[in-house]
Structures are given as C-alpha cells and as structure tokens.
C-alpha cells in the first residue's frame, strides 16, 4: 500500500534512485538486469586505478549508471527500421557500437530481423545498411535526451556533460560532436571501456581508436579481478558500496522531479504513449482526494502513477506500436511489463513502497488481470484508483489500433468495465470532470500557438508530411516551424522536443 511511508521527511540516497533507473535502461537496450551496475563497479575501479580524485570518481559512478538514459529516444523508429524488435537490435549492436564500420556492418547483417522469414529479413537488413547514417543521429538523440532528463534529477554538471557526449571516441570519430583525445570527458573515456569489458569485448583491438590507451591499460591491470569478483557478488550492493563518500543525496522535495524524469523516459518509448504517465499521475492524485485519501497518500499515489509504466521498456516496440491485434506470444510478452515495473522499483528503498500500486495497474477485481492475477481482496484502494486512472487516460488518447474516445465515451466504457472498482471509477470520473477546463497560460520559450500545434504532432511521432496534412499547410512551412521551435526550446532532435513538450504539459 502507498501511504505515509511514501512522503519521505529526510534526504534520499541518490545512488539508489539512479541504480533503479539503470535496471530500466538495461531492459531498454536488451541487456540482462544488472549490466549497468556491473559496469559502474568496474568503471569506478578504473577511475581509482587512474588516480582520479573523489569528485571525478563520483562523476564516473553516476554516469555509468545513467549512460543509457536516452535509450528510449528513438525506439519506435529503430523498431520500424529493423522489423519490430528494437531491444534485440540494441542488444546485438551493443558490443560493436564502439567498433569499426566493418564490425557494425557484419553485426547488422547477422542480427537484424533474425527471426523473420528470409525475404523479409533481407529487406530489413538492406534498409538498415542503407540507413547507416541513422545510427549517428540515433546516438546523438540518445545523448541529448539523457542530458535533458538528468538535468532535472539533481545531478551535477559534469555528469550532464558526460551524458551529452556519451558516444564520443578517442579518435574523434564519435558523436555527437566528434571530440578527440583528452577533449572527450574523462568519465566517458572510462565508462565506454568498462561497459565493453563487461560485454566481453577485446579492448586491445580498439585501443587508440575508440578507447583511451591509458584506460585500456588500467583495465588490463584491474579488470579481470573486478569482473571475477562481480560474478559472485550482489551487483546492486556492490554499486552502492563503491560510491565515494559522502553518499550523494536528494532532498525529500526533490523526489518528484526525479520520478517525473523517469516517467518521461518510459513514455518516450512510443509516440502513442507520450505524456501518459503524467496524465495518469494527475488524474490519480485528484481521484485519491475524492476517495478520501489524506494528502500524503495522494502524493504516494501520484508517485506510483509516475513510475507505473517503467516496465514498458522491457517490451519491443513492434508490440506497442502494432496497429492490429496481438498474437498470443505478443500478448504474453506485453503482459510482463508490470512485472518489470515491480522488479525495477522493489530493490530501491526510496521507491519500494510504490511497487505494489505501480505494478498492479492491470489487475482486475475478478482476477483476470496481470501480471499476478490478484483477487479483489489483495488490491488496495490505491491499486484500484491507479488502475481506473490508467484506463481512462488510455481510452481518451489515440492508440495504434483505435482512435481516442471522447470523455463521455470513455466514461461509459469505464463504468461498463466489470473488472474495475466502481468507487474508484466514480472518483476518477469526478477527477476528470474537475480538469475539464484548464486555465489559459502563457506558452513557454516564446512559442506561438502554431508552433505548439506543430510541436505536439512532432512529439507524437508524426513526419513533416503528416503534420502538413493535418494542419493543412505545406511540408516546407512545417520545416520552418520545426526549425524555429527547435531553436527556441534549445533542442536538436525530435526525441528531445518530445521531452520538452512533456515537461511543459503541451501534450494534454
């Protein structure tokens, strides 16, 4: 149950929060849970071996946990390119991201759409090879989004700078800016080596190319023993233990910005769900008030709602973005996402009390829900409210298999859903009625009404041509609007524009 225990009165350990979201990024890039934690431990050992000062080690520690915070930036586009499974693609490409062009080509040819029929597989491999420039743009978007999200999470500027250059290389052939040698942030030089060592890459072959030779030499000295120790260790405890003293903290009132960043990370996964977690959180918190929950319990319900969809990143976009019915295997994979939400939250002491409600949003009173098929008596009031808020928010938004319902249509559908608690439904509908006419506010960053219209559609994954058709203007005019709004809001990619739109409530 969420309640007073979710309203912390003292500082929270930042590393626990970062370690928690690192589990989500592991899932998003197709790696086993704990990959980032193990990378973190090794990276800290390399930093210490290189004689880094405690603050440099702290930057390495935090960057290692967050390096893939931008991994959801273009999941939908990557999935469409490679045949649907973005996670399998990211996982296969992980060991060669810092490799040579020849390694990248061989890995694409051997891994893209590997489970699909031969003719379809050949088509996807050809498309991916023809679009290799997309790889650089993709990684640059990952960097931009990661830096934006981290800047809202109480992190220091050196960590944000490292995230903004997460794919730079020693030889200057990386992205986003082609920094070379010592111009590449030290944390990046250390963590790229640690991450690839954790993946079993031959480091020597890339020394002086992708990798700083001094870091490779340090890895040769201490890497084997650290990795051997990790094979027997609890990587969560090891990652927490290797943080330099004193432990970094977040003030109690700083938790909500961190969880909102986590929500946006999850909702970037698909253009169809962007802003969903924020909407569910606002609706559930208001519904909690109608249900008689006290202020602390309502705050806990809001926080659980913000992180309820973190487990979505464990499921490929070929499922989330599919316009037709899901097959039985696809349904089974989809039904696992609340389980992964629970796994991500349960280990982290500041978030563990949110895990029950956050991972129960698809449970139903008749036991037909997932992932645990809980009976009614096992579902708290908070679980029931979050489930109803999630359904209402989903029904009133477009999905790949259906258009959005009107508020009245959604209300009728909600009341007809026998698996939802009637009292929770009534509270959610009351909350939705209270939000019907929001006050008009000034637009952020000097954006015009038309630029907001364009931004909203771009954030939803529409192409310039689609935007032009919907707004009845020319694609060239859309391009000018996109260029202008990017300049005003200070971004360079569509994924980062989507983050800005969610941050400022422009998708509601």
Q: Of 228, 250, 272, which one is at a domain's C-terminal end?
A: 250
Q: Confirm whether 231 is domain-assigned.
A: yes
Q: What is the pLDDT of residue 11?
A: 86
Question: Is it the case that residue 278 has pLDDT exceeding 90?
Answer: yes
**H helix runs in 94-252, sequence order:** 101-111, 118-130, 133-151, 157-164, 186-198, 213-230, 235-241
Mean pLDDT of the chain: 94
Instruction: Find the CATH number of the domain harbouring 61.
Output: 1.10.3210.10
Look at residue 207 and tell me if it is in a domain: yes
d(CA 179, CA 168): 6
DSSP per-residue string spanning 385-412: HHHHHHHHHHHTS-BTTBPPPPHHHHHH
Task: CATH number of the domain at 492, please.
Answer: 1.10.10.10
Per-residue pLDDT reduced to its tens digit, 305-324:
999 999 999 999 999 999 99
Please indicate, yes or no, whether residues 233 and 262 belong to a single structural domain of this protein. Answer: no
Residue showing tokens 């996402």: 337
Is residue 257 domain-shared with residue 221, that is, in the same domain? no
Q: Does the structure show a pLDDT above 80 at 247?
A: yes
Helix (H) or strand (E) holding 291: none
The answer as to whether 116 is a domain residue is no
441, pLDDT greater than 70: no
Structure confidence by residue, pLDDT tens digits, 205-242: 999 999 999 999 999 999 999 999 999 999 999 999 99
Say yes or no: 429 and 450 in one domain.
no
* pLDDT(4) > 60: no
Give residue 5's pLDDT: 45
pLDDT confidence tier of residue 252, bands split at 50, 70 and 90: confident
The Cα 73–Cα 169 span in angstroms is 21
Q: Could you tell me if 387 and 301 lie in one domain? A: yes
341 and 420: one domain?
yes
Whole-angstrom distance, CA of residue 406 vs CA of residue 173: 50
Q: Is residue 261 part of a domain?
A: yes
Q: Are residues 221 and 259 in the same domain?
A: no
- Per the CB < 8 A criterion, the answer to whether 338 and 312 are in contact is no
Q: Do 425 and 449 belong together in one domain?
A: no
Which of 233, 250, 267 represents a domain boundary (last residue)?
A: 250
pLDDT of the residue at 442 = 81
Residues 471, 400 share a domain: no
Q: Are residues 172 and 52 in the same domain?
A: yes
Alpha-carbon gap, residue 156 to 159, rounded angstroms:
6
Q: Confidence band (pLDDT; 50, 70, 90) for 176? A: very high
Distance set, CA 443 to CA 82, 248, 294, 440, 456 (Å): 38, 35, 33, 9, 13
In this structure, is residue 146 part of a structural domain? Answer: yes
Residue 320 lies in a domain: yes
Residue 1 in this model has a pLDDT that exceeds 60 = no
Whole-number pLDDT of residue 115: 83
Co-location of 274 and 155 in the same domain = no
Domain check: are 388 and 476 in the same one? no
Confidence of residue 437 (pLDDT cuts 50, 70, 90): very low
Backbone Cα Rg of the chain: 23
The pTM of the full predicted model, rounded to 2 decimals, is: 0.93
**Taking a C-beta distance cutoff of 8 angstroms, is the pair 125, 475 a contact?**
no
The pair of structure tokens assigned to 424 is 């929770």
Q: Which of 502, 54, 1 is nearest to 269 (CA)?
A: 502
Task: Name the domain boundary from 376, 411, 434.
Answer: 434
From the CB of residue 406, how many other CB atoms can be counted at a distance below 10 Å? 10
Number of domains in the chain: 3
Tokens of 112: 């893209």
Domain-embedded: residue 13:
no
Long-range contacts of 87-94 (CB under 8 A, 24+ apart): 87/27, 87/28, 87/29, 87/30, 87/314, 87/315, 87/316, 88/30, 88/114, 88/316, 89/30, 90/28, 90/29, 90/30, 91/29, 91/30, 91/31, 92/30, 94/29, 94/30, 94/31, 94/199
Q: Provide the residue range defining the domain that includes 491.
A: 445-503
pLDDT grade for 10, boundaries at 50, 70 and 90: confident
**430 & 452 share domain:** no
* CA nearest to 395, candidates 386, 404, 387: 404
CA 405 to chain CA centroid, nearest Å: 27
Q: Give domain status of residue 425, yes or no.
A: yes
| pLDDT over 90 (residue 436) | no
């Amino acid at each position: 149950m969420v309640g007073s225990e979710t309203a912390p009165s003292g500082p929270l350990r930042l590393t626990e929060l970062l370690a928690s979201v690192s589990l989500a990024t592991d899932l998003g890039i197709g790696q086993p849970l704990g990959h980032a934690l193990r990378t973190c431990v090794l990276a800290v050992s390399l930093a210490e071996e290189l004689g880094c000062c405690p603050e440099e080690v702290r930057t390495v520690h935090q960057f290692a946990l967050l390096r893939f915070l931008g991994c959801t930036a273009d999941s939908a586009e990557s999935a469409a390119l490679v045949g649907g499974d973005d996670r399998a693609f990211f996982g296969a490409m992980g060991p060669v991201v810092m490799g040579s062009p020849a390694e990248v080509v061989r890995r694409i040819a051997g891994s893209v759409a590997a489970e699909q029929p031969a003719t379809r597989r050949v088509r996807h491999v050809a498309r991916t090879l023809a679009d290799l420039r997309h790889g650089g743009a993709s990684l640059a978007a990952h960097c931009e989004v990661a830096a934006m999200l981290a800047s809202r999470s109480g992190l220091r500027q050196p960590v944000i700078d490292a995230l903004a250059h997460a794919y730079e290389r020693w030889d200057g052939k990386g992205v986003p800016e082609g920094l070379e040698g010592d111009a590449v942030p030290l944390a990046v030089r250390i963590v790229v080596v640690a991450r690839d060592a954790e993946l079993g890459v031959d480091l020597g072959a890339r020394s002086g190319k992708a990798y700083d030779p001094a870091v490779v030499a340090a890895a040769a000295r201490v890497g084997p023993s650290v990795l051997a120790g990790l094979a027997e260790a609890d990587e969560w405890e090891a990652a927490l233990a290797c943080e330099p003293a004193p432990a970094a903290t977040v003030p109690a009132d700083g938790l909500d910005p961190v969880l909102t960043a986590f929500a946006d990370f999850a909702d970037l996964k698909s253009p169809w769900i962007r802003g969903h977690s924020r909407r569910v959180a606002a609706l559930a918190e208001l519904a909690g008030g109608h249900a008689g929950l006290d202020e602390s319990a309502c705050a806990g319900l809001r926080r659980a709602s913000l992180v309820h969809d973190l487990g979505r990143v464990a499921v490929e976009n070929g499922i989330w973005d599919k316009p037709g019915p899901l097959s039985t295997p696809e349904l089974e994979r989809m039904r696992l996402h609340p389980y992964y939400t629970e796994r991500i939250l349960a280990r982290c002491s500041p978030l563990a009390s949110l895990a029950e409600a956050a991972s129960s949003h698809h449970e139903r009173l008749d036991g037909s829900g997932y992932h645990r098929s809980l009976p009614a008596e096992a579902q708290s009031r908070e679980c029931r409210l979050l489930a109803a808020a999630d359904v209402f928010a989903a029904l009133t938004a477009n999905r790949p298999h259906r258009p959005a319902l009107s508020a009245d249509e959604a209300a009728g559908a909600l009341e007809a859903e026998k698996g939802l608690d009637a009292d929770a439904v009534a509270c959610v509908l009351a909350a939705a009625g209270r939000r019907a006419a929001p006050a008009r506010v000034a637009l952020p960053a000097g954006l015009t009404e038309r630029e907001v219209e364009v931004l909203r559609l771009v954030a939803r994954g529409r192409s310039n041509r689609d935007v032009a058709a919907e707004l009845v203007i020319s694609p060239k005019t859309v391009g000018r609007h996109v260029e202008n709004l990017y300049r005003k809001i200070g971004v360079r990619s569509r994924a980062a524009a989507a983050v800005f739109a969610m941050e400022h409530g422009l998708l509601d």
